[in-house]
Amino acid sequence: MLTTLALISTLFAAPAPDSAEAGALQVAALERFHQQTFSNTAASVVFISGKDSLGSGFFISADGWILTNAHVVHDAEQFDVVLNDGRRFTGKVMERAKDDIDFALLKIDIKDSKPMRFDTSPVTVGTWISSIGHGAGMVWTMTTGMVSNVHPSGSKRRVFQTDMPINSGNSGGPIINRQGLVIGVVTAKIKGADNVNFGIRIDLALESLSKLGAHCECWRVLTTKGTPVFLDGEVVGSGPEVVIPAMAGSHRLSAVSNGNRLERSLEWPRDRDVVLK
């Protein structure tokens, strides 16, 4: 009987006195994470403005290459580009994605830009994401949310849905994961709906922009046409050219061409263009 009473007493005991403090510590840790995310990313995001449009973009190289949406730049060739530190440049459109995919590459004359890295892993529902951009003309604002859906029904583009608040001016901004890597680019919202917004997956940018692979923080693997290429045992594409976002550490690259197994190690930034033939 005493044992039963002790068990009941334990089950219905008041919360530990320090539970509120533990909750506060968790909130503080989340705040620090958000603050660090903004601090690490803001300098990579730019404000783009032209005669009839404005939007966001982000550096993909240390020498001024910028990824944004094609609909941000429209048909113009030059734009005003403002950096987070207040510097202003004239940006030139270097490439628009093929097949009317909503990507464009700009370039400004700078040698100290802070590039962002990519993550082309499959996007999954429930993934925590954030973005920094210039929604509604409010510069360098950060929003957070999650991936709500992948390949929404009826979509003709390789997009994912997010509940992250998006406004006009956010277009072209990076969508990043908890590791601070770009998984997509803000592209559209459904007007009149409550936070039904969309991003284009970053792997589609690598496929649709021929100049991106040569300038982003990526390994570019050149091999014979149709040859499967493997990174750490996982297939990542096939020749003649495969672009792989750079990752920390040492990795094993391999391929089988004309009956011969080809292997080599990869490290960033030691390696960039790699020939496997």
Domains of the chain in start order, with CATH, are: 128-206 (2.40.10.10), 217-276 (2.60.40.1120)
49, 53, 63, 71: the active-site residue: 71
Instruction: List pLDDT tens digits, range 123-167.
Output: 999 999 999 999 887 899 999 999 999 986 555 668 999 999 998
| Mean pLDDT along residues 171-175 | 97
* Positions of E strands within 70-227: 78-82, 88-96, 104-107, 128-133, 141-150, 159-162, 174-176, 182-189, 197-201, 218-223
The answer to whether residues 81 and 93 touch, using CB atoms and an 8 Å cutoff, is no
Residue 194 a catalytic site member: no
Tokens of 99: 């097949």
Out of 171, 203, 208, 215, the active site residue is: 171
| Catalytic residue selected from 44, 56, 61, 102 | 102
Lowest-confidence pick of 4-18, 71-85, 108-122, 177-191: 4-18
Give me the chain's average pLDDT, please: 89
Whether 44 is a known active-site residue: answer no
pLDDT at 232 over 90: yes
State pLDDT tens for residues 9-24: 554 455 555 788 888 8
CA distance linking residue 58 with residue 133, whole number of Å: 9
Assess whether 85 carries a catalytic annotation.
Answer: no
Q: Whole-model pTM? A: 0.87
